[in-house]
């Protein structure tokens, strides 16, 4: 019997998500992938930049995520931006669908990683930030950075 990998290997992060949205709650979802897709994922050829999670018929789908075509694939290679089904427990799907419909939240992918050899997607329920909120976040980050720099200089 083959021993499983342990740990988590991050493949792709959605860096704009933390800038554009206030992240409220996180879920771990599996992905339904084809053989050439998982090979491209393992080769770190993934982008979550413009992707989002969309409910369809009581299921959740990852839309517009770009998984590059596998270089050594044949004519049965996958389409890079096809919708991919997310695998979650029924009660998690119910909670996400309820929050999406009632609280004015949206579901966005924040990170794609390999866990025990399987592709997992971190999905966050998020609320969009206003322009002044984004400016406050940037200003806070800048002041924190200046404080850290000053402390480093003082204790050298």
Is 46 among the domain residues?
A: yes
Q: Is 1 part of any domain? A: no
pTM: 0.77
- In this structure, is residue 21 part of a structural domain? yes
The secondary element (H helix, E strand) that includes residue 84 is strand 84-87
Per-residue model confidence as pLDDT tens for the chain (156 residues):
455 556 789 999 988 888 888 889 999 999 998 888 888 889 898 999 889 899 999 899 999 998 888 877 677 777 888 899 999 999 999 999 998 888 778 999 999 999 998 999 999 998 887 777 778 888 888 899 999 988 888 887
pLDDT tens string 121-139: 999 998 887 777 778 888 8
At 79-96, the pLDDT tens digits run: 888 899 999 999 999 999
* Residues 6 or more apart whose Cβ sits within 8 Å of residue 102: none
State phi, psi for 118 to the nearest 5 degrees.
-115, 145
Residue 18, domain member (yes or no)? yes
Q: Give the CATH number of the domain where residue 113 resides.
A: 2.40.280.10
Does residue 140 lie within any of the structural domains?
Answer: no
């Amino acid at each position: 019997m083959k021993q499983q990998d342990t740990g988590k290997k991050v493949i792709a992060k959605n860096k704009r998500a933390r800038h554009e949205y206030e992240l409220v709650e996180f879920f771990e979802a599996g992905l339904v992938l084809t053989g050439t897709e998982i090979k491209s994922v393992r080769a770190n050829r993934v982008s979550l930049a413009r992707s989002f999670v969309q409910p369809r018929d009581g299921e959740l789908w990852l839309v517009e995520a770009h998984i590059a075509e596998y270089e050594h694939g044949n004519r049965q290679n996958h389409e890079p931006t096809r919708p991919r089904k997310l695998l979650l427990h029924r009660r998690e799907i119910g909670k996400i669908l309820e929050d999406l419909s009632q609280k004015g939240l949206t579901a966005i992918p924040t990170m794609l990683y390999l866990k025990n050899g399987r592709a997992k997607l971190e999905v966050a329920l998020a609320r969009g930030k206003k322009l002044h909120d984004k400016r406050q976040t940037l200003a806070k980050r800048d002041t924190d950075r200046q404080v850290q720099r000053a402390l480093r200089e003082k204790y050298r």
